[in-house]
Amino acid sequence: MKPILVVGGGIAGLQAANILHQSGRDFILFEKGSALGGRVSSIRKDGFILDRGFQVLQTSYTEVQRSLDLSALQLSYFDSGAMVKDQVFYNPLRRPFDLFSSDILRLKDIFSLIKIWLKLQGNVPALDGKKHSTQELIESYSFSDRFKNEFLIPFFQGVFLQESLAQPASLFFYYLHQFLYGNAAIPANGMQAIPDQLASNLPVESIRVQQEITKLDAKSVTLFSGEKIEGEAVILAVDLPVAAKLLGLDVPATLASKTFYFYSNKSAPQPPLLRLISEENLLHFTCLTDVNPGLAPEEKALYSATSLRNSSKEEVKLALERHLSGVKLHFLEEFDLPHSLQVVDAYDSIKKAANGIVLAGDYLQFPSLQGALSSGREAAEDILGRS
Ligand SMILES: Cc1cc2nc3c(=O)[nH]c(=O)nc-3n(C[C@H](O)[C@H](O)[C@H](O)COP(=O)(O)OP(=O)(O)OC[C@H]3O[C@@H](n4cnc5c(N)ncnc54)[C@H](O)[C@@H]3O)c2cc1C
């Protein structure tokens, strides 16, 4: 039997390859880049480990629990909550009594949060086909301006990487459920450890990096060199813009973000929390070494900051130093990520144009490691189910 051809070595492609391999099926995975992992990758610089874009592993995701060996990743955990200016807002399910002493919350916020929590007791699919946006949903509750503008909106702008919060309200409920009941974590060696773990189970001879696919159909792929390879089936596990392009469709708009890294001399550790600032040029930042000291050389503190605008490193540094009064920051690196996430949609035109090619990728479900892992599993199981 010919091998199954997997195009794309991100989380979805690696997951598909793992499921095929576990079932004893031959496959060849083609990855355009020089490393595996796609949008999940880390670099090492001057003794620091920097993820290409601030990301966290949400441990409550079912497919994350099923597919990854979490203990081998040696996770460090964020506290469940966020800091708004100098106020901490903890997950009310973990610290319910803090609700009544918080400066950010008014009584009407507590009532609205209880109403939302009651809604979460039912089944919370990420996409239930409802057309309300997250912004509309938030406006439909009577939150105070302060809680809404300083916590709720910036927090979800950071999750969606979208200022308008146009993503569906069902996605808001789904993510909220994960945040309330799960934990946000980063692996000891940065997010790259996740694709590394998925790749470590695969035979090296089946992985071909620096091999860009330029054409494909349901049974073959053509490499940039012009070489054509035949297979039993083809799984297209690339990101949304590339999938659209390879299938001859218009490329949909995607959501961009920028992540900046700075370091300082280490000072007294603070609670490991995301800090929301909702300023013109910045959305949130965090001291990563408060979560995982191993990401920096000893005696150094590592900060990451995320922006949805075209901010400069000088602007971001000034804004951070204002918030971290007295801390002198040094610039390390910036990552400009024009395609970070995508707008949730049914992408019917892509599904129709696939014409026998099996699709995988987070855009088929929702933008996250859960969406990527689960889409990869479904693509592989679709093919395994045929034989
Ligand atoms: C800044 C940022 C923050 C995020 N935050 C989180 C978070 O906190 N939590 C979370 O769960 N998720 C987060 N995500 C989303 C998560 O990273 C993605 O959902 C997931 O990595 C998508 O995996 P994928 O395999 O579907 O796509 P990709 O990772 O895009 O993989 C596609 C692969 O296909 C390869 N490829 C493209 N074209 C070709 C070609 N022609 N031939 C061969 N190979 C090709 C690419 O090089 C790439 O390796 C974040 C993403 C970003 C960018």
Can you tell me the distance from the alpha carbon of 79 to that of 272, in angstroms, rounded to the nearest whole number?
6
Report the relative pairing of strands 330-342 and 254-265 from DSSP bridges: antiparallel
- The pLDDT score that the predictor gives to residue 338 is 95
Domain regions of the chain by residue span = 4-40+193-252+343-384, 42-77+185-190+254-342, 89-178
- Across 160-212, the runs of DSSP E, i.e. the strands, are 184-187, 207-209
pTM above 0.85, yes or no: yes
**Of residues 45, 63, 57, 142, the one with CA closest to residue 365:** 63
Residue 218 sits at the vertex; the CA angle it makes with 216 and 219, to the nearest 5 degrees, is: 85
Can you tell me the distance from the alpha carbon of 350 to that of 354, in angstroms, rounded to the nearest whole number?
6
Can you tell me the distance from the alpha carbon of 323 to that of 318, in angstroms, rounded to the nearest whole number?
9
Cβ of 376 below 6 Å from ligand 1: no
Which residues, in sequence order, are bridge partners of residue 37?
10
Name residue, tokens 């892992």: 373
Can you tell me the distance from the alpha carbon of 85 to that of 307, in angstroms, rounded to the nearest whole number?
17
For ligand 1, atom 14, which residue shows the shortest CA distance? 368
Q: Structurally, what CATH architecture does the domain formed by 4-40+193-252+343-384 represent?
A: 3-Layer(bba) Sandwich (3.50)
Can you tell me the distance from the alpha carbon of 347 to that of 362, in angstroms, rounded to the nearest whole number?
12
Can you tell me the distance from the alpha carbon of 231 to that of 323, in angstroms, rounded to the nearest whole number?
56
Cβ of 252 below 6 Å from ligand 1: no
DSSP character for 315? H
Cβ of 12 below 6 Å from ligand 1: yes
**What is the SS3 assignment for 339?**
strand
- The pLDDT score that the predictor gives to residue 123 is 76
Cβ of 231 below 6 Å from ligand 1: no
Average pLDDT per block of 10 residues along the chain, 387 residues long: 97 98 98 98 98 97 97 97 89 86 88 91 73 92 94 94 94 93 96 98 98 98 98 98 98 95 92 87 93 96 94 93 92 97 93 97 96 98 93
Cβ of 244 below 6 Å from ligand 1: no
Cβ of 342 below 6 Å from ligand 1: no
Report the relative pairing of strands 27-31 and 4-7 from DSSP bridges: parallel
For ligand 1, atom 7, which residue shows the shortest CA distance? 55
Ligand 1 atom having least distance to the Cα of 39: 29
- The pLDDT score that the predictor gives to residue 100 is 77
Superfamily of domain 42-77+185-190+254-342: Protoporphyrinogen oxidase, mitochondrial; domain 2 (3.90.660.20)
